[in-house]
Structure 1
Amino acid sequence: MPFRLIDREETLVAGLPVRSPRRALGKVRDPHLEKAWFAVLNGQTSGPLASTYTDYAEEVGSYYIQTVGYCCESLDDVPPGYMVSRLPAGTYAKFSVTGDDFAEIFSQLWEEIWEAERRGEIERTFTGDFEYYPHAFGVDLYVAVQSTKCGELQ
């Protein structure tokens, strides 16, 4: 799966936070995460659906915060009860995939990210990553990376 390195402006995602244990994707369901998505999908949103990964360590077995919600332009777009996750401007590796089995999609995406790391094509900064859902069957996953890796990979 090809990816592109792109420079992005600051990204704001309003939503519901879930503190999740970091584990292999697709191995364990997280009922707290499912409950948050259910609430967001049945609540008020004013932008495209998105999810952020912040405040986490690199090692499996540690924790991170996943905020599920939607992209917003300002704090004025945030309904009561939601928090805002702020991802800094910077260089991101953009991985995109489509399909109808989200567990398979996410496993495929993260395997590609880890493989790009192993090949030395990207060096993650762990300043925050996010998922953007352009339509019902697609995911764009943006991973924060060192800007020393520049250009576009096909």
Structure 2
Amino acid sequence: MVDSSRAPEPIRADDRRVQLRPVPTGVNAREPLWRDVVGDVLRRERLARGRTLKDVAEAARISMPYLSEVERGRKEASSEVLAAAAHALGLGLADLLALAQRRLTGERRAAAERPSDGSATSLAARRAAVPRRATRRDGGALLLAA
């Protein structure tokens, strides 16, 4: 039975929001979008080869504004467009995928090394602060000279 003597609780602003996907936490909280990663890889490769946006767009038979938007992560490019842009840069799709994967794992590694509590101490600095034993594998003492 429902108690009708109690006033209903007011609806909070947070309760009115419809959440389409779970809010990411931890390392995944800063995971970039695929289009941002691929666009950044294309731009870096183009610049590393000293090529202009116009040059690559013409070679790939893509409009220059569209290629620019792909590089900036504004457009979700089809596999055909990505292949054309990659081939114009002398890359295959596998090369583009490998470069994007390296960037993603590098970002994930960097995020894991960032402290989660907001302090300025990184994981690498915390590891370096842990004293190491001055012993050799055979159990003998290892003498260190300064």
Q: State whether TM-score is above 0.5.
A: no
Q: TM-score, normalising length from structure 1?
A: 0.20
- Which structure carries more strand by proportion? 1
TM-score (norm 2): 0.21
Specify which structure has the higher proportion of helix: 2
